[in-house]
Structure 1
């Protein structure tokens, strides 16, 4: 590997560490390689960038972002929380379970972990504190649960992975589902453990008929909100629509529900949501543009092959290759969010996965769980910092519960996903055959 590539990687990492916006980091890395590398004309690079952002598949991501914004401000997310709270909130630790489930559902539809932290955290962290939960723990639980957005379909991260690697997007949707369910169970176990050690208040005991009536009333009130994820997933897995078309349906569905039926969203707020979603989508497209250019440059410089050769110089055993790939993915997740991490890591690690005999669909699940763990792994932990900001707490006080979630929930799931192929391949094979 040439010194120019090494210095370029150092430049990219340094810019990410000091907090330069991620699209600008990728742009600087591209300019550095173009200026000092033996690239020649830049016209093919610009074409590589535009070919990616002009893909019909990429349209799904801004649409899911808009759907998530409408859910957050249009009363849909709040009603999902009410149903979960009615069903689970009467047990000790139940409110934590509400956070885990609603964050997973909301994060999946919005497609972004940060959106889930903002939408669910602003509602649930104060509510958890009022009921006796430690504020730092509440912020940690929301942050850790938000990365389920990478695992529970429809996931924007898996759309990008399938698009970058040429893998079936529907199969990529299904691959991380079982790891995600396992992670939800482990989060629930450790939430119960922590809640038992806090002075958490729960609702007074009530008769079964009263509880059932409350659940039924809130379910009826939230019926249209509950129908939204069912509709999206049913259309995708029923073969009725593509993921992109399902994203458009999600927006078309959310607009009248939020504006006309629930009336929790005014026209002014609606345009604000559209504007903010457009800003997020614009930043994302700039990121995709420069990431595609950088990926093409790395390919021309044989960076994926150099990484494979570097790994194989340490060991040629598939288990060793997979362990090194996992460490590589976690490190990437620590420095950048899942979108840029996938755009950078998936093409570079594909030769390593092929050498280790890993199915591309299983690789999708491996990428999702590792990048998710990286997002909450100190010292960088971008989602953890965001959770501390939303929860109005100090990052240092969040570290102990975070390490418990990483070591005793996330890490076991990462290892199982990596070394038990059936965990990620069972659902794609069941629903899609092959």
Structure 2
């Protein structure tokens, strides 16, 4: 099959996605287009490749984590995390912004989804920041940009998918993006102090050191059960007690009594809504996995990864240039696709390319996570920014200036560090797992 048809197939996929066609149908259309124009006697191999991927028990972890995160979301953990972060640093000038970054990052880890972090933290913190003198556009941009840390901090659905698609250890993929995520949290916090230096912020009344420590201790106890959830999950996995899927089941079992009996913010009505939405997410994801597996199989048979590598090498044989081109490709994918679609599309296509260039699959997984996260907040598409604007009741033009500052002075440096400093993503897996 000629490269023209493969390019046309990729164009069909992207155009359908941009037009708003449901992502599973976009992958299915691309797979069937290649089948129709190619010389294939039967569709049996396509269907079998889709069903063979669905049989993986690893995929069960994603709806379980989504369900556990939904229980904690409606179970009162968000407000308790916000109160804890604010008690720790909220009395410092600009400290409320840092509290947003920290609470959003932690909540993103609990929920596993960037949209859930925006939906839970945004309605609490954006009005509070505006009341303290923060610009509404800035406050909304800060919440939205911080929310994409959910792609990097374990347990991350994106990292589970990447590990499953590429055959890489899920435990290693949970660890690989942690250091890049911590650097992002630090850079976001520093930029927050810089960007708010000219804002007329209202600070709460000062308290004594003893009063402040007592407040922190009180808020820590209130948020303790929520904070313990990711620690329990990771402890079970890295302690060798459970697999990631079993740890996800433990997370559900843990979240239910916390939401119903301890925090008592979870009701049977909200529980039914969570179960219904989790089921919807699981169903959509299974259909997407089915069709994306078909597309990946066809593209592999047509040597698409090898053709991508040959195309890159025709541009340059300098590894630095080639890695920059891979990052640019990932950024573009992240701008047009959600993180799940981006992982399913980019990982099988680009992994053979970067392995040929000498990159470890674990490092590449961290690069995929950081790039797709940056794509979610990069205009003109920026789906997380638009969602944040709905929550914060503002518009994209009012969010664009701080967002670009976070992209160019936080996300972009971390992308480059993750790409050209392998130890940043390989240190923790090598230390804890010996990979």
Using the size of structure 1 for normalisation, the TM-score is 0.97
- Cα distance in 1 for residues equivalent to 2:278 and 2:348: 28
Paired residues, number: 434
- Cα distance in 1 for residues equivalent to 2:153 and 2:72: 17
Show the counterpart of 1:42. Answer: 43
Comparing 193-202 and 145-154, the one that deviates more = 193-202
| 1:29-428 equivalence runs, <5 A | 29-428=30-429
Question: 1:214 Cα deviation (Å)?
Answer: 1.1
Tell me: CA distance 1:127–1:38, structure 2 relative to 1, closer, same or farther (3 Å).
farther
Secondary structure in 2 aligned to 1:41? coil
Comparing 183-192 and 12-21, the one that deviates more = 12-21
Question: 1:25 Cα deviation (Å)?
Answer: 1.5
Are 1:171 and 1:428, in contact at CA under 8 Å, matched by a contact in 2? Answer: yes
Are 1:100 and 1:145, in contact at CA under 8 Å, matched by a contact in 2? Answer: yes
Question: 1:37 Cα deviation (Å)?
Answer: 2.5
Show the counterpart of 2:27. Answer: 26
Secondary structure in 2 aligned to 1:222? helix
Secondary structure in 1 aligned to 2:234? helix
Tell me: CA distance 1:9–1:91, structure 2 relative to 1, closer, same or farther (3 Å).
same
Structure 1: 5+ residue stretches without partners: none
Are 1:4 and 1:37, in contact at CA under 8 Å, matched by a contact in 2? Answer: no
- Cα distance in 2 for residues equivalent to 1:82 and 1:54: 42
Are 2:73 and 2:111, in contact at CA under 8 Å, matched by a contact in 1? Answer: no
Using the size of structure 2 for normalisation, the TM-score is 0.97
Q: CA RMSD in A?
A: 1.3
Show the counterpart of 2:10. Answer: 9
Secondary structure in 1 aligned to 2:293? helix
Are 1:53 and 1:285, in contact at CA under 8 Å, matched by a contact in 2? Answer: yes
Structure 2: 5+ residue stretches without partners: none
Are 1:321 and 1:352, in contact at CA under 8 Å, matched by a contact in 2? Answer: no
Comparing 370-379 and 45-54, the one that deviates more = 45-54
Are 1:109 and 1:229, in contact at CA under 8 Å, matched by a contact in 2? Answer: yes
Question: 1:60 Cα deviation (Å)?
Answer: 0.6
Question: 1:127 Cα deviation (Å)?
Answer: 1.7
- Cα distance in 2 for residues equivalent to 1:381 and 1:220: 37
Are 2:16 and 2:26, in contact at CA under 8 Å, matched by a contact in 1? Answer: yes
